[in-house]
């Protein structure tokens, strides 16, 4: 996937408040760049249907609006995101002055050019028909006679479908709700409810990496150019945007000389304007939480690309061996994964940067295990590690001095974090891991501990293909500049030091309360629960779970306030200070209402809807959607949370299932425990009131 994937999701993903057109703030008359600067706000119009997903081979789905965020930062502007339910409402909203720019995978068409002005094109896409995997293949366009093509009105796909129908007069067009997401569309195609649909090639390629129930069919369109749109009178804004696109290498500079042939890997990267990073889908590297792409390696890769004015693509390695194979095979430019330089890896054709992190190898066991004080205590124990990891050699050396220690090979698809998790669950006996990874796991849940340190701190590096000296030099300069600097320290602490859930800053309010008073904020909770149709006792239980009634609470991910609302979510709902008790409560309950509407798309049982909503509030609607699909495949009820979809959510912690999920890996225990804890407290509250 290349630059088209820049456009395939919104910056704020599923956490955005969907606004109705009638409620948007409009600006009468010309609102060009001068007026935008005066207002200090750039208003971006986008579409609800563009969803986030785990980028497995291409630019991250939020990249389009990340660039607009950079544009806004450069010009000292705040971003106001306006997300509309209907795609065909985008241009009318722009022309009515209700936003300044459209960023929504918008194709340049002759009809649209009559209404709006487009920036320089920064991506191209080709559309294809999609059908169920077991459906009879279409030999040619003639086979479309009598077939039915599902489309969402106002999209570029709809324009393509209508063009096909004019040429193939017996092709039927079926209009489907604009609120349905891409994966939901494909679910209906796979089940046979929809006969055919349309997707662009890059999004389809990404989908085919995690689902095997659909297939690519005939090409439906020629290449389409993608761009941002502004009003015809926004001439200065258009100029500034085009300058930004050229300055950041997203489009070629007009009149520029032909680029010289690439002599080095770095030349190729500069010529294409794109750098490719390969990593694993896990918390240290990249994952999705509450609709946002997060991860230590993702964050530092993004900054490297930004500093060098490059687009960045992310490739998810299916297993740990592939992480380095992709470098050797030139499927990626840089591998990130706390890699320790070893001679075996160097012999494979890998070159390593200067260290960007140091870590010791340690023995890990269950938190209740007090039997190991030295290596002699490893007699008769079973140690589980991956053969492709550096830990295997360490374990083999241990066996030389402790022959009775049994060594078991873990599957190479397993991350070290997954193995550590199995130690905590009692499924494995002991393992070896890097100290920082164990520290992260202990921060999240204290069911494992370190009992022995086997090595001194070892340097860990970025990896590139041997011989790519120019690229390696760029990496080394970047690491020298950033290592232990402000950005590095803040980012490292975010993912490895501050991962604990909300600390108990003060005594649990419910431990000494009696009667009908449940919290210090009952009046506010009752007020907004009634407004949005929730049982206030349930909302108090959720508030306790989120913040322990501490309005100043802040999570490692940046969520704040009594309901731990993400700052971007609060901002898009119009709340500037969610740390204020009443504001935080209103923001949390209003967002719960939005998430509930999102969950209704999945047709869960009405009396179960609130549990799905809570799970989505905690982990993100995307992970819940993945769990619903997995439950269906497992033969469990997909409309019941407890003992059904929650079981599927737990499975998404394992690579076997996460690799086939749109949103990838998730710590399934967190949303499962979250919902059960709230339900338990809710039942107590109901008895008291």
Q: Give per-residue pLDDT as tens, 443-488.
A: 777 799 999 999 999 999 999 999 999 999 999 999 999 999 999 9
Architecture of domain 127-222: 3-Layer(aba) Sandwich (3.40)
Q: In sequence order, what are the residues at sequence separation of 6 or more whose Cβ sits closer than 8 angstroms to the Cβ of residue 585?
A: 521, 524, 525, 528, 539, 543, 562, 563
CATH class of 3-124+226-247: alpha beta
Residue pair 419/389 in contact (Cβ under 8 Å)? The answer is no
- Looking at residue 202, its pLDDT comes to 77
Higher-confidence residue of 153 and 249: namely 153
Per-residue model confidence as pLDDT tens digits over 539-549: 999 999 999 99
Per-residue model confidence as pLDDT tens digits over 335-388: 999 999 999 999 999 999 999 999 999 999 999 999 999 999 999 999 999 998
DSSP string covering 265-327 = HHHHHHHHTEEEEEE-BBTTTBEEETTEEE-HHHHHHHHHHHHTT-EEEEEE-SSHHHHHHHH
Q: Estimate the crossing angle of helix 416-425 against helix 435-444, to 10 degrees.
A: 50
Query: Mean pLDDT, the chain, as a whole number?
Result: 87
- Looking at residue 201, its pLDDT comes to 85
Confidence band (pLDDT; 50, 70, 90) for 515?
A: low
Per-residue model confidence as pLDDT tens digits over 188-212: 999 999 999 999 887 888 888 888 8
Q: DSSP secondary-structure letter at 521?
A: T
| Two domains, one topology: 127-222 and 265-357+464-495 | yes
- Options 3.40.190.10, 3.20.20.70, 3.40.50.1820, 1.10.10.10; CATH for 265-357+464-495 is 3.40.190.10
Q: What share of the chain is helix, strand, coil (3-state, %, to 5)?
A: 45, 20, 40
Percent of the chain with pLDDT over 90: 62
Residue 517 has pLDDT above 60, yes or no: yes
Per-residue model confidence as pLDDT tens digits over 212-247: 899 999 999 888 888 999 999 999 999 999 999 988
List the structure tokens of 339.
Answer: 């890699």
Q: DSSP secondary-structure letter at 614?
A: H
Q: What ranges in 402-504 are assigned the alpha helix state H?
A: 416-425, 435-444, 469-482, 486-496
Structural domain boundaries in the chain: 3-124+226-247, 127-222, 265-357+464-495, 361-455, 509-688
Q: Could you list the active site residues?
A: 546
Residue pair 390/345 in contact (Cβ under 8 Å)? The answer is no
Residue pair 377/454 in contact (Cβ under 8 Å)? The answer is no
- Is the Cα dihedral 33, 35, 41, 45 positive or negative? negative
Residue 92 has pLDDT above 50, yes or no: yes
Q: Which of 394, 380, 384, 391 is nearest to 429 (CA)?
A: 384
Phi, psi of 35, deg, nearest 5: -70, -35
Q: Which of 505, 538, 483, 488 is nearest to 685 (CA)?
A: 538
CATH class of 509-688: mainly alpha
List the structure tokens of 174.
Answer: 């079926």
- Looking at residue 49, its pLDDT comes to 56
Stretch 153-176: mean pLDDT, rounded?
89
DSSP string covering 106-172 = PBP-HHHHTT-EE----EEE-EEEEEETTSPPP-SGGGGTT-EEEEETTSHHHHHHHHHHHHSTT-E
Per-residue model confidence as pLDDT tens digits over 638-666: 999 999 999 999 999 988 899 889 899 99
What is d(CA 249, CA 305) in angstroms, rounded to the nearest whole number? Answer: 11
Confidence band (pLDDT; 50, 70, 90) for 520?
A: very high
Pair type for strands 148-152 and 214-219:
unpaired
Phi, psi of 350, deg, nearest 5: -110, 135
Per-residue model confidence as pLDDT tens digits over 568-584: 788 777 788 888 999 99
Architecture of domain 361-455: 3-Layer(aba) Sandwich (3.40)
What is d(CA 288, CA 55) in angstroms, rounded to the nearest whole number? Answer: 10
Q: What ranges in 533-620 are assigned the alpha helix state H?
A: 536-547, 567-572, 581-600, 609-619
pTM above 0.85, yes or no: no
What is d(CA 536, CA 264) in angstroms, rounded to the nearest whole number? Answer: 63
Residue pair 104/46 in contact (Cβ under 8 Å)? The answer is yes
Location of structure tokens 């005066």 = 38
Q: Which of 603, 542, 591, 597 is nearest to 566 (CA)?
A: 591
HSE of 354 in the Cβ direction (CA atoms, 13 Å)? 11
Per-residue model confidence as pLDDT tens digits over 412-423: 888 898 899 999
Per-residue model confidence as pLDDT tens digits over 600-624: 988 899 999 999 999 999 999 999 9
Helix (H, G, I), strand (E, B) or coil at 449: strand
Percent of the chain with pLDDT over 70: 90
Stretch 490-495: mean pLDDT, rounded?
90
């Amino acid at each position: 996937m290349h630059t088209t994937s820049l456009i395939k999701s919104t910056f704020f993903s599923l956490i955005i408040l969907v606004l109705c057109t009638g409620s948007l703030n409009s600006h009468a008359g010309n609102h060009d760049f001068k007026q935008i600067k005066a207002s200090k706000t750039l208003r971006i119009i986008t579409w609800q249907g563009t969803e986030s997903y785990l980028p497995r081979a291409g630019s991250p789905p939020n990249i389009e609006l990340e660039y607009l965020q950079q544009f806004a930062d450069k010009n000292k502007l705040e971003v106001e995101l306006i997300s509309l339910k209907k795609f065909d409402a985008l241009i009318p909203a722009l022309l009515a002055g209700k936003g300044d720019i459209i960023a929504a995978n918008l194709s340049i068409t002759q009809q649209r050019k009559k209404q709006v002005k487009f920036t320089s094109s920064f991506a191209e896409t080709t559309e294809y028909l999609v059908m169920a995997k077991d459906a009879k293949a279409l030999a040619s366009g003639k086979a479309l006679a009598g077939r039915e093509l599902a489309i969402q009105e106002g999209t570029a796909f709809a324009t393509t479908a209508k063009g096909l129908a004019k040429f193939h007069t017996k092709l039927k067009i079926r209009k489907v709700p604009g609120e349905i997401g891409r994966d939901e569309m494909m679910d209906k195609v796979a089940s046979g409810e929809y006969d055919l649909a349309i997707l662009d090639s890059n999004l389809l390629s990404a989908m085919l990496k995690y689902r095997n129930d659909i297939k690519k069919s005939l090409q439906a369109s020629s290449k389409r150019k993608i761009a941002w749109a502004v009003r015809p009178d926004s001439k200065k804004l258009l100029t500034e945007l085009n300058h930004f696109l050229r300055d950041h290498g997203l489009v070629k500079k007009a009149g520029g000389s032909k680029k010289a042939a690439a002599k080095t890997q770095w030349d190729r990267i500069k010529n294409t304007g794109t750098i490719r990073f390969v990593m694993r889908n896990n918390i240290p590297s990249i994952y999705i939480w509450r609709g946002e792409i997060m991860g230590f390696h993702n964050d530092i890769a993004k900054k490297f690309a930004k500093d060098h004015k490059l687009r960045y693509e992310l490739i998810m390695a299916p297993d740990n061996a592939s992480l380095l194979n992709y470098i050797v095979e030139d499927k990626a430019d840089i591998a990130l994964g706390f890699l320790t330089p070893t001679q075996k890896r160097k012999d494979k054709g890998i070159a390593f940067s200067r260290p960007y992190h140091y870590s010791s190898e340690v023995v890990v066991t269950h938190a209740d295990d007090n039997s190991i004080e030295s290596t002699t205590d490893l007699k008769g124990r079973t140690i589980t590690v991956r053969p492709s990891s550096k830990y295997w050699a360490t374990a083999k050396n241990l066996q030389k001095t402790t022959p009775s220690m049994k060594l078991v090979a873990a599957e190479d698809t397993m991350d070290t974090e997954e193995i550590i998790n199995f130690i905590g669950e009692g499924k494995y006996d002991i393992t070896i891991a890097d100290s920082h990874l164990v520290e992260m796991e202990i921060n999240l849940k204290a069911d494992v501990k370190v009992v022995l340190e086997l090595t001194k701190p070892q340097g860990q590096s970025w990896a590139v293909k041997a011989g790519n000296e120019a690229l390696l030099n760029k990496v080394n300069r970047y690491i020298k500049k950033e290592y232990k600097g402000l950005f590095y320290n803040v980012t490292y602490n975010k993912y490895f030091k501050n991962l604990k859930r909300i600390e108990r800053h003060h005594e649990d309010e419910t431990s000494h309360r009696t009667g009908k008073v449940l919290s210090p904020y009952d009046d506010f909770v009752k007020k907004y629960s009634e407004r949005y149709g929730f049982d206030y006792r349930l909302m108090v239980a959720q508030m306790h779970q989120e913040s322990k009634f501490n309005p100043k609470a802040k999570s490692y991910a940046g969520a704040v306030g009594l309901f731990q609302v993400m700052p971007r979510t609060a901002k898009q709902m119009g709340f500037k200070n969610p740390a204020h008790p009443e504001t935080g409560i209103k923001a949390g309950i209003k967002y719960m209402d939005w998430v509930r509407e999102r969950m209704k798309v999945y047709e869960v049982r009405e009396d179960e809807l609130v549990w799905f909503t809570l799970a989505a509030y905690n982990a993100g609607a995307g992970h819940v959607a993945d769990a619903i699909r997995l439950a269906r495949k497992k033969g469990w009820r997909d409309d019941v949370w407890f003992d059904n979809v929650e079981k599927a959510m737990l499975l998404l912690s394992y690579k076997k299932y996460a690799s086939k999920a749109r949103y990838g890996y998730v710590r399934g225990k967190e949303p499962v425990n979250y919902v059960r804890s709230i339900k338990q407290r809710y039942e107590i509250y109901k008895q008291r009131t």
